[in-house]
Each structure stands twice: as structure tokens, then as C-alpha cells.
């Protein structure tokens, strides 16, 4: 009896000790202070956006048209724009909250030289984002946007797409080697956030015009494909951080099949043919 009483008094011997503790992922950042407030604010805005968009609530509607704040979307938001904003917001939160590598106990901050390389990549990302806003301004000014105009094509390839690919690809690779401390933002992840915004702004701009119907034709702007490649890479990277490589490999197989399916053996690329209906005309 005395031994049982002594065990009950000592918390170290409680069987259920720590059962309510939530496991922390090895690559999850734990913020404090200003960083915690920034991430919380982004999460609140992201959740509020969904609540407003899905319920068709807007400031302009609620005030009967008296208050119209520029650049705010009108709700209910257009379906394609909602999906793009939904994915972009999730990517931004994911890159800020999850590191590309784990945080072992006693880990020291990574090499400063590696982090310095992220700043030129950030310039590329910001330049691409600025071009996306410039395209939006030109389209709003009445420019006839299409994939045939040589000037538009040049701007989309070399002033928007190329910097976007450099920023996105370079930052993803850089994040695999640089190990930032758990409670701090990493510069290369800021680059991925900027790249996400550059993709979202461009796609929302283009899909707000008749160019959304030009896919598969010569009129389709090449920037759509370049933004799609960068966006796919961003989604794959965040998927790897959150769910591991297995899901990335599966998704990659299906993506590759889209491009090489027609060259595979017939049983892998032939469409399913419905059985022919029996001829009943002879019985009439």
C-alpha cells in the first residue's frame, strides 16, 4: 500500500503522462513573437477569404455600394480565381511553416554563404511579380493580349517566365541544403512565397480575359505554360515537405504519362471502347 501511494505522488510514474502532447513534425517551424504574429495574421486572412468567398459576402455588397475599396475581389468570386487564390494561399502558409529539411536537436543555423545566394533569387522573383502586375495594368488599359504578338511573347518568356523559373528552381534546390533555425524564416522560402504570388497574379489576370478559352491554340499566351510549370514545381515541393516523396513520385508518374502516353504500347494508351449495341432493326 505504501509503495502504491508513493507512486501516485510522483508524476514520473503516471502511465498517461504526456498523452495529450501533440507531436511536432521534424520540419515544422515553431515561431515566437513577431514571426508568430505574421503567420497568424496570414492564416486569419486566408480563412476569412474562404468564409467571405463561399458565402458571397463583400464590403461593397454589405454597404449597398457606398464603400468600394480598390483591388479587393467582389464576392462571390469567380470560380477559377477562387481556386488559384486558394492554392496560392496554402502554398504561402506552407512555405512559411514547413522547412525543406528537418530540425535535429542541437542544430546550428546553416551556412551564411548559402543564404546570401537567396537574395539574387529574390530579386528575380520580385521582378517576375512586377511584370505580372505590369501585364495586368496593360490588359486593364485595353491591350489586346494574345500569344501571337512578338512583343508580348518576348515579355512573357524573358521578362516574366525566365526570372520566375530561376527564382523557383533555384530556391527549391537551395532550400534542400540550407538548414535555418526552427524559429526563424528562411530567405529562400520568402523567394518561394514571391514566386507563388507571381504565378497567382499572372494566372488570375489572364484567366480574367478571353485568353482563358485559347488553350491549345496559337493564340494562347506562352506565359500560361511557364506559370503552370513553376506552379507545379511549387506544389510538388510543398507536397514533399508535408507528405513526403511517395505522393510526389505518384503525381510525377501521372504528369509524365500525359506527355508520353501516346508513345506507349496500345494497352496503355488506347481509349476504352464501349461495346456495340445489338442491331434490332431485323426484328422490326
Annotated domain spans of the chain: 25-260
Query: How many CA atoms are closer than 13 Å to the CA of 198, on its beta-carbon side?
Result: 35
In this predicted structure, what is the pLDDT of residue 283?
43
Question: Which position has the grid cell 513577431?
Answer: 34
Helix axis angle for 79-97 and 33-55, nearest 10°, is: 160
Pair 178, 115: CB distance under 8 Å:
yes
For residue 265, what is its C-alpha cell?
Answer: 504500347
pLDDT one-digit tens code per residue, 79-103: 888 899 999 999 999 999 999 988 8
In this predicted structure, what is the pLDDT of residue 71?
57
Pair 203, 197: CB distance under 8 Å:
no
How far apart (Å, rounded) are the C-alpha atoms in residues 124 and 165? 9
Residues of the chain with pLDDT below 50 are: 282-284
In this predicted structure, what is the pLDDT of residue 227?
97
In this predicted structure, what is the pLDDT of residue 258?
87
Amino acid at each position: 500500500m505504501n509503495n502504491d501511494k508513493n507512486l501516485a505522488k510522483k508524476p514520473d510514474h503516471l502511465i498517461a503522462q504526456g498523452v495529450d502532447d501533440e507531436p511536432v513534425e521534424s520540419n515544422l517551424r515553431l515561431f515566437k513573437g513577431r514571426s508568430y504574429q505574421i503567420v497568424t495574421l496570414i492564416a486569419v486572412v486566408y480563412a476569412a477569404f474562404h468564409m467571405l468567398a463561399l458565402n458571397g459576402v463583400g464590403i461593397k455588397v454589405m454597404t449597398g455600394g457606398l464603400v468600394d475599396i480598390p483591388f479587393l475581389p467582389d464576392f462571390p468570386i469567380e470560380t477559377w480565381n477562387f481556386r488559384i487564390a486558394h492554392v496560392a494561399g496554402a502554398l504561402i502558409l506552407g512555405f512559411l511553416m514547413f522547412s525543406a529539411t528537418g530540425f535535429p536537436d542541437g542544430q546550428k543555423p546553416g551556412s551564411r554563404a548559402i543564404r546570401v545566394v537567396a537574395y539574387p533569387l529574390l530579386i528575380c522573383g520580385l521582378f517576375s511579380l512586377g511584370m505580372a502586375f505590369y501585364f495586368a495594368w496593360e490588359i486593364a488599359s485595353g491591350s489586346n493580349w494574345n500569344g501571337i504578338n512578338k512583343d508580348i511573347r518576348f515579355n512573357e518568356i524573358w521578362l516574366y517566365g525566365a526570372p520566375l523559373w530561376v527564382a523557383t528552381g533555384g530556391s527549391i534546390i537551395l532550400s534542400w541544403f540550407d538548414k535555418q533555425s526552427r524559429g526563424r524564416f528562411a530567405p529562400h522560402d520568402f523567394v518561394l512565397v514571391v514566386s507563388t504570388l507571381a504565378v497567382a497574379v499572372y494566372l488570375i489576370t489572364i484567366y480574367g480575359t478571353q485568353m482563358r478559352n485559347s488553350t491549345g491554340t496559337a493564340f494562347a499566351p506562352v506565359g500560361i505554360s511557364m506559370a503552370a510549370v513553376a506552379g507545379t514545381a511549387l506544389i510538388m515541393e510543398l507536397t514533399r515537405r508535408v507528405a513526403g516523396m511517395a505522393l510526389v513520385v505518384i503525381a510525377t508518374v501521372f504528369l509524365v504519362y500525359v506527355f508520353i502516353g501516346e508513345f506507349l504500347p496500345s494497352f496503355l494508351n488506347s481509349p476504352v471502347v464501349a461495346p456495340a449495341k445489338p442491331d434490332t432493326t431485323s426484328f422490326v
